[in-house]
Amino acid sequence: MAKAPASAQGVGKTPDKLLEIRDLKIEATVYPPGEAPKDIVIVDGVSLTLERGKVLGLIGESGAGKSTIGLSAMGYGRGGVRITGGQVIINGRDILKSGIGGLRKLRGKEVCYVAQSAAAAFNPAHKLMDQVVEAAMLHGVANRAEAEKRAVALFKKLSLPNPEVIGNRYPHQVSGGQLQRVMTAMALCSEPDLIVFDEPTTALDVTTQIDVLAAIKDAIRDTGVAALYITHDLAVVAQVSDEIMVLRHGKLVEWGDTHQIIREPRKDYTNQLVSVHRIEHEEKTPGDKPLLSVKNVTAAYGGGVVDVLKNVTVDIHPGQTLAVVGESGSGKSTLARAITGLLPPREGSITFDGRTLPAKLADRTKNDLRELQMIYQMADVAMNPRQTVGTIIGRPLEFYFGMRGAERDRRVAELLEEIEMGKGFLDRYPAELSGGQKQRVCIARALAAKPRLIICDEVTSALDPLVANGILKLLLNLQAVENVAYLFITHDIATVRSIADSIAVMYRGAVVRYGSKSQVLSPPFDAYTDLLLSSVPEMEVGWLEKAIKGRRMEAAGN
């Protein structure tokens, strides 16, 4: 682990050690509704060191404290968070003792920051160039002309289009992937010693992410800057970092070089993170009669001219899973709305169990509605916050089957057992459940209707990987027991591998590839599927370079 720290006070600094954090403690005050405010510990006794020019990945699930640690390297606490103990030593001095004046000299000069959402982090009122050179000029690193020259060179290095003039644009005139690179250029412009990357690619589509990731990696290597790279995605961090630190609940779990962490994790938790997506799922062969047939469906919003669904045809077989995969704007969620009747298609038909479903929701029978249930991405807004778990799960029982009183309660208890929660949760409100538990209750609500098909719209995307894995396993078990079919909408290829029997790949409103899982995922590929599959980060060192070399199509985000 960490080498014995040399005397870090002032003169005796070791030449290669840039950042040293010792026994960091960070607290925040929370205001729970109806209770007195209380202090909670967000980061508890974390220590780390980073050498000049090296990249350390900080990884963990939500609540691990990784962003908070990253920002502490700039002496900054976001949203009322307080650094209450420990030392943060940069270039030989403890920045926590340097006061606000000292911190201002450090920020934007020695340490710079790249945020998750560049779209929000740029000031909408100023041109990009003014914002990129601002810190360099403020700290006297360069005058305006030099700073602009350097900015243009950085734009080039980060492969931004029209590097000479892109600085004249305003933030809203540039795409998300490009903004993220401009923000990286902004951080590099004042030639800092350290950059804190805070989930810089998380908000991007997967095919855009790979380009931004490659650009960031090149820029780090060429400028020799050190970096703290914060992310929840182990496969991403494996591409850019020299070392990885795994965090959980504000405490250090494991710290080692990248190879060791992803090849030979020593701690059980790290091992779980590494092997998270390894659910083996045997593909089922389709029967002769599909449960749901979508035929030549074309749909547009508000009678508009732009079709968001173009001539889509797919089948789902009883007890099987069709995964619909695509990036944002591919029309995959619109397909779900068309099938449920929320967005009646302009053309085409939807057949369910041999009968044609009316296009509009209002024209469907109660039985049509019962047999086709839906689960949403954001479980917290999919449940009425003023209803208890018992009411939420019990309502479909009352509504569809007229169950009342003890009979209903018994069935609710059974369903709670099925989702591995138990009847102790009967009187809880959604706000009192964890993210995974909320999604389980939504699954139980769908199951209560005894449906033949459940549409799952990105049901695991908002969850941490380990929790998401638990949900996927539950869904697979339930499918085996209840023989229910799933239409599984996702942007995540790894999830598709874990759960699908057949796959439809969507791109700009159309299905570009459709077939059984084994067919769709084996070559030869069409250009888009190739791009999509090759963009999914894999948990091996050096994957990024291989993937970039092997690509045939430019990502849409460029």
Partner 1 sequence: MSPILTLIAQRIALGVLLLFAVSVLIFAGTQILPGDVAQSILGQSATPEALANLRRELGLNDPAIVRYFSWLGGVLTGDLGTALTTRQPIASTLMPRLWNTLFLAFWAAIVSVPLAVILGLLAVRYRNGPIDKAISGFALASTSLPEFFIGYLLIFFVAVQMQWFPSISTVYAGMPLADKLNAIVLPATVLVLVVLAHMMRMTRAAILNVMQSAYIETAELKGLSSFDIIRKHAFPNAIAPIVNVIMLNLAFLIVGVVVVEVIFVYPGMGQYLVDHVSKRDVPVVQAVGLIFAAVYIGLNIIADIAAILANPRLRHPK
Partner 2 sequence: MPDLKTIPIGAAIGLFLTVVLVFSAVFAQVLAPYGLSQIVGDVWEPMSAEHWLGTDNLGRDLLSRMLYGAQTTMLIAGLATALSFSLGAILGFTAAVIGGWFDMILSRLVDLLMSIPTLIFGLVVLSVLPSTVLTLILVMGILDSTRVYRLSRAVAVDINVMDFVEAAKLRGEGRGWIIFREILPNALSPLVSELGLRFIFAVLFLSALSFLGLGVQPPEADWGGMVRENKEGIVFGIPAALIPAAAIAVLAISVNLVADWILNRTTSLKGGRGNG
Coil, strand or helix: which one is 240? helix
Residues 398-417, mask of contacts with partner 2 (x by CB under 8 A): -x------------------
Contacts to partner 1 from residues 77-116, by CB under 8 A: 78, 103-109, 112-113, 115
CA atoms of 500 and 66, how far apart (whole Å) = 33
- Told to check if 431 binds partner 2 by CB under 8 A, we report yes
Binding test (CB under 8 A) with partner 2, winner from 10, 12, 15, 37:
37
Residue 376 binding result from partner 2, partner 1, none, given CB thresholds of 5 to 8 Å by partner type: partner 2
3-state helix, strand, coil in the chain (%, to 5): 40, 25, 35
Q: Please name every residue paired with 159 in a beta bridge, in sequence order, or none if there are none.
A: none
CA atoms of 250 and 393, how far apart (whole Å) = 35
- Calculate helix-pair angle for 527-535, 206-223, nearest 10 degrees: 50
Contacts to partner 2 from residues 290-349, by CB under 8 A: 340, 342
- Told to check if 124 binds partner 1 by CB under 8 A, we report yes
Shortest CB 460 distance to partner 2, Å: 16
Shortest CB 372 distance to partner 1, Å: 40
Total chain residues near partner 2 (CB under 8 A): 31
Burial 56-93 (b: 16+ CB within 10 A, else e): bbbbbbeebbbbbbbbbbbbbbeeebebebbbbbbbbb
Binding test (CB under 8 A) with partner 1, winner from 46, 88, 135, 236:
135
Whether the Cβ atoms of residue 448 and residue 480 lie closer than 8 Å to each other: no
- Told to check if 49 binds partner 2 by CB under 8 A, we report no
**Polymer length of the chain:** 558
Whether the Cβ atoms of residue 38 and residue 29 lie closer than 8 Å to each other: yes
Task: Give the HSE-up count for residue 530: Cα atoms under 13 Å, Cβ half-sphere.
Answer: 13
Over its C-alpha atoms, the chain yields an Rg (Å, rounded) of 26
CA atoms of 391 and 398, how far apart (whole Å) = 10
Shortest CB 432 distance to partner 2, Å: 12
Q: Please name every residue paired with 322 in a beta bridge, in sequence order, or none if there are none.
A: 487, 502
Whether the Cβ atoms of residue 395 and residue 417 lie closer than 8 Å to each other: no
Stretch that binds partner 2, among 27-35, 119-127, 239-247, 414-422 (CB under 8 A): 27-35
Shortest CB 109 distance to partner 1, Å: 6
Residue 241 binding result from partner 1, partner 2, none, given CB thresholds of 5 to 8 Å by partner type: none
Binding test (CB under 8 A) with partner 1, winner from 38, 82, 97, 126:
126
Residue 31 binding result from partner 2, partner 1, none, given CB thresholds of 5 to 8 Å by partner type: partner 2
Residue 170 binding result from partner 1, partner 2, none, given CB thresholds of 5 to 8 Å by partner type: partner 1
End-to-end CA distance of the chain: 41
Residue 173 binding result from partner 1, partner 2, none, given CB thresholds of 5 to 8 Å by partner type: partner 1
- Told to check if 80 binds partner 2 by CB under 8 A, we report yes
CB proximity list for 542: less than 8 A, separation 6 or greater:
none
- Told to check if 6 binds partner 2 by CB under 8 A, we report no
The maximal CA–CA distance of the chain, rounded, in angstroms, is 82
- Told to check if 378 binds partner 2 by CB under 8 A, we report yes
- Told to check if 389 binds partner 2 by CB under 8 A, we report no
Among residues 421, 496, 434, the alpha carbon closest in space to that of 463 is found at 434
Q: Which residue has the tokens 């169950």?
A: 403
Residue 381 binding result from partner 2, partner 1, none, given CB thresholds of 5 to 8 Å by partner type: partner 2
Residue numbers of the site for partner 2 (CB under 8 A)? Answer: 30-31, 33-34, 36-37, 79-80, 340, 342, 361, 364, 366, 369-370, 373-374, 376, 378, 381-386, 395-396, 399, 431, 445, 449
Binding residues (CB under 8 A) for partner 1: these are 74, 76, 78, 103-109, 112-113, 115, 117, 120-126, 131, 134-135, 138-139, 170, 172-173
